[in-house]
């Protein structure tokens, strides 16, 4: 893999255009998490997601890392998938954390990645390269070991960094004012 400004731009376009798959995953996660934590969480629109993709990729240091992780996950193939379980999980967690930003959001995104990932059964809607694929066992598209983790990571990272959570919209009671 060679990462260049042009490949980062292409990856940004791919991530932005993935909105029809990622936004429903974001909203599903927010709905389920909201019920678990007994709170209302705002939904995310396609436009909001796409604007935030632009924000993430505007920071060159973040953009190069997001582009590389997304590209690796999209191309990742492991024979029989299960032997590669650890690597696609690690890459997915790191992608979600990188998108979300620094602590504590990066840690929340990593936890959310696993929450989303268990509800993404392969990429049965379409292959991550945009071509329609023949579904293999358990609804997986052959050759897509990292595809479901890529979608889960994008959903977890963006849902974490986007507004809509009550606890993020109020001032923290733990801030200490300067004396």
Q: What angle do CA 166, 63, 73 make, to 5 degrees?
A: 90
| Global confidence as pTM | 0.84
Per-residue pLDDT tens digits for 72-110: 998 887 776 666 678 888 999 999 999 999 999 999 999
| pLDDT given at position 122 | 58
Q: Which two tokens stand for residue 152?
A: 């889960």
Q: 83: which residues sit within 8 A by CB, 6+ positions away?
A: none
- Would the pLDDT of 4 be above 60? yes
- Would the pLDDT of 135 be above 80? no
Nearest Cα to Cα of residue 68 among 118, 12, 30, 131? 12
Tell me which of 39-43, 45-49, 127-131, 148-152 is least confident: 127-131
Whole-angstrom distance, CA of residue 67 vs CA of residue 91: 12
- Tell the residue number behind the tokens 């379980």, with chain if given: 85
| pLDDT given at position 165 | 81
> Domain residues of the chain, as ranges?
5-167
Count of helices and strands (H, E) across the chain: 7, 0
| pLDDT given at position 136 | 37
- Would the pLDDT of 71 be above 70? yes
Cis peptide before 17 (omega within 30 of 0): no
| pLDDT given at position 13 | 98
């Amino acid at each position: 893999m060679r990462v260049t400004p042009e490949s980062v731009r292409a990856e940004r376009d791919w991530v932005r255009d993935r909105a029809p798959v990622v936004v429903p995953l974001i909203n599903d996660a927010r709905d389920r998490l909201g019920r678990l934590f007994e709170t209302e969480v705002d939904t995310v629109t396609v436009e909001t997601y796409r604007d935030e993709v632009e924000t993430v990729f505007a920071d060159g240091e973040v953009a190069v890392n997001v582009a590389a992780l997304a590209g690796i996950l999209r191309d990742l193939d492991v024979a029989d998938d299960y032997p590669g379980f650890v690597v696609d999980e690690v890459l997915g967690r790191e992608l979600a954390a990188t998108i979300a930003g620094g602590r504590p959001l990066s840690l929340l995104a990593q936890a959310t990645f696993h929450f989303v990932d268990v509800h993404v059964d392969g990429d049965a809607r379409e292959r991550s390269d945009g071509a329609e694929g023949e579904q293999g066992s358990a609804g997986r598209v052959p050759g897509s070991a990292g595809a479901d983790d890529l979608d889960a990571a994008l959903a977890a990272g963006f849902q974490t960094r986007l507004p809509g959570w009550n606890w993020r919209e109020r001032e923290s009671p733990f801030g200490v004012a300067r004396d």
